[in-house]
């Protein structure tokens, strides 16, 4: 009885899979994939299917890259603002106290996000304008 139920589930599952994807591997690549499948206790097809379906999408990768770029730009903006304020202070004859330097750092950190977003928005808008201009010229 249990065997009949399992056979019905397997058959139903196979019927849902009507498409296939093929690829060629070197002997070394095949051995690597086989070892990974064996380590997980899966057949080659099940292992490859699970790897493909669990891979992050390209859109997710782009979002992560954009988030990393924004953080880097924010930190760059904070450092730029902080160093500029310190240089201006020294150039005008002021020797900033430790408290003043901490205040400059805090101010730089407070404005870095807004500056980074403004720069990213400007860069995005320029890219869109270039794309639109190229499309108009091509037409």
Residue 48 within a domain: no
- Does this model's pTM top 0.85? My answer is no
How many independent structural domains does the chain possess? 1
Q: What is the mean pLDDT of residues 77-86?
A: 91
Residue 82 within a domain: yes
Residue 120 within a domain: yes
pLDDT of residue 1: 55
pLDDT surpasses 70 at 134: no
CA distance 118 to 70: 11
59 phi/psi in degrees, rounded to 5: -65, -40
Q: Give me the domain span that covers residue 106.
A: 58-126
Residue 114 within a domain: yes
Residue 66 within a domain: yes
Residue 104 within a domain: yes
pLDDT: is 92 or 56 the higher one? 92
Residue 131 within a domain: no
Arithmetic mean of pLDDT over the chain:
82
| Residue 95 binned pLDDT confidence (cut-offs 50, 70, 90) | very high
Cα 13 to chain centroid distance, Å, stands at 33
pLDDT surpasses 90 at 10: no
pLDDT surpasses 70 at 89: yes
Under 8 Å between Cβ of 117 and 66: no
pLDDT of residue 70: 84
């Amino acid at each position: 009885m249990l065997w009949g139920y399992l056979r019905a589930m397997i058959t139903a599952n196979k019927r849902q899979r009507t498409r296939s994807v093929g690829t060629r591997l070197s002997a070394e690549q095949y051995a690597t994939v086989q070892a990974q499948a064996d380590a997980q206790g899966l057949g080659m097809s099940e292992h490859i299917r699970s790897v493909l379906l669990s891979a992050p999408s390209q859109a997710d990768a782009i979002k992560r890259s954009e988030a990393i770029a924004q953080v880097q730009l924010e930190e760059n903006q904070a450092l730029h603002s902080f160093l500029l304020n310190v240089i201006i202070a020294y150039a005008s004859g002021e020797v900033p106290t430790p408290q003043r330097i901490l205040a400059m750092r805090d101010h730089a950190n407070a404005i870095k996000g807004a500056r980074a977003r403004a720069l990213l928005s400007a860069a995005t808008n320029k890219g869109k304008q270039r794309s639109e201009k190229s499309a108009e010229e091509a037409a």
